[in-house]
Amino acid sequence: MAGGQGSRLRPLTLTRPKPMVEVLGRPVIDFVKDAMVDAGVEHLVVTTGYRGEQLSAHVEQWSTHSGISARINQEAVPMGTAGSVRLLLDELTDTFVVGSGDAVASFDIQALIEAHRSHGAKVTMALWEVEDPTEFGIVGLSETHQGELDGELRQGFIRQFKEKPTPEEAFSNVINAGLYILEPEVLALVPEGEKFDFSKQLFPMVLDMGWPMYAQTINGVWFDVGHPFELIRAQHALIEGRDLLPFPLPQGTFSETDSYFAPGVPPQTGIVGSVVSTGTTISPTARIENSLIMAGCSIGENAVIRDSVLGRNVTVQSRTHVERSVLGDEVDIAAHSELIDARIPEQA
């Protein structure tokens, strides 16, 4: 699923769909794609909406380089998560996998498929454990189908959902990780031509019908990247845990300062805890800390960038200070300016 606009990621998503925003130089959609291919999925369809033409070009490369069958299905109007998949109802005649293309996710999907089949489920959901469940949709489980809810379980039959609970309402701390194994008869419940959502509408309907729904907490990688600064958090976790990850990271250089430099970009000691993408030029006197620098940027002499995300082809001229800011593509920050706690406005 890759049809959303990613409004909370603006201004980065003014020029790209959310699944094409990069982490460690890779579009986030590639992480879940690789996990699906590793699980033996051979045919992929990407449901697209906002700026779908960029995803179309990217998905064509999957078929060329990965040897899998891959294409897009463009929505004419936004149909919601379940509504967008329902457009493929005639094709999805056997058990199928649905994944969110806008989160960094990599884990053992084959194990989830096996759990789905062994428990006779109509739906099986990947879960992720969090410390604070109040910003997510939580899931309550039981050991048996329609059994008693146990908030300590990390796998079992789904008994209850709750979107963004208060601390008092939270009956568990496992959340919907946006990857599902489904049977075709579940998708057939989605009304034709109607905007419909998996988590808010379809899954509560299936639960009310008494159909078995299973869930399993995953071991691997999962990051919601709904906000630009979550991109920085995700890249830190990937860099720090790179030796334990279930997948190889992109080629490039990992420095002693916990930074990643894309191929062709020489490491620099003045760059700490940051990611620097391809085609970027940085003055040796510049200082970059805890930031994400996307492709094609130019950083001038004595410039300082802290806790910020720079889109593609951003120019930060000499002696410019950028802090806690998110800059969209093609922005030119003039010399001697200071930019703190800022977002480039939409018209930029």
Q: Tens of pLDDT along 175-219? A: 988 899 999 999 999 999 889 999 889 999 999 999 999 999 988
Nearest to 154 by CA among 136, 134, 177, 135: 177
Percentage of residues in the chain having pLDDT higher than 90: 43
Distance in angstroms (rounded) separating the CA atoms of residues 63 and 51: 20
Which pairing describes strands 253-254 and 298-299: parallel, antiparallel, or unpaired?
Answer: unpaired
Q: What are the boundaries of each domain within the chain? A: 7-228, 251-340
> How far does CA 277 lie from the centroid of its chain?
19
Provide the pLDDT confidence category of residue 103 given band limits of 50, 70 and 90. Answer: confident
pLDDT at 343: 57
Spatial CB neighbours of 205, under 8 Å, sequence gap ≥ 6: 189
Provide the pLDDT confidence category of residue 339 given band limits of 50, 70 and 90. Answer: low
Of 177-186, 283-292, 339-348, give the lowest mean pLDDT range.
339-348
CA distances (Å), 76 to each of 19, 87, 101, 227, in order?
19, 11, 19, 26
Distance in angstroms (rounded) separating the CA atoms of residues 310 and 171: 39
- In contact, 267 and 274? CB cutoff 8 Å: no
Span 309-330, average pLDDT: 90
pLDDT at 209: 94
CATH class of 251-340: mainly beta
Q: Return the CATH number of the domain spanning residue range 7-228.
A: 3.90.550.10
Distance in angstroms (rounded) separating the CA atoms of residues 228 and 97: 28
Nearest to 39 by CA among 118, 110, 116, 125: 110
Spatial CB neighbours of 31, under 8 Å, sequence gap ≥ 6: 23, 104, 105, 106, 221, 247
Distance in angstroms (rounded) separating the CA atoms of residues 262 and 21: 16
Provide the pLDDT confidence category of residue 345 given band limits of 50, 70 and 90. Answer: very low
- In contact, 311 and 329? CB cutoff 8 Å: yes
Please give the mean pLDDT across all residues of the chain.
86
Which residue would you say has higher pLDDT here, 238 or 125? 125
Span 271-280, average pLDDT: 92
pLDDT at 198: 92
Q: Which residue do the tokens 């379809």 mark?
A: 202
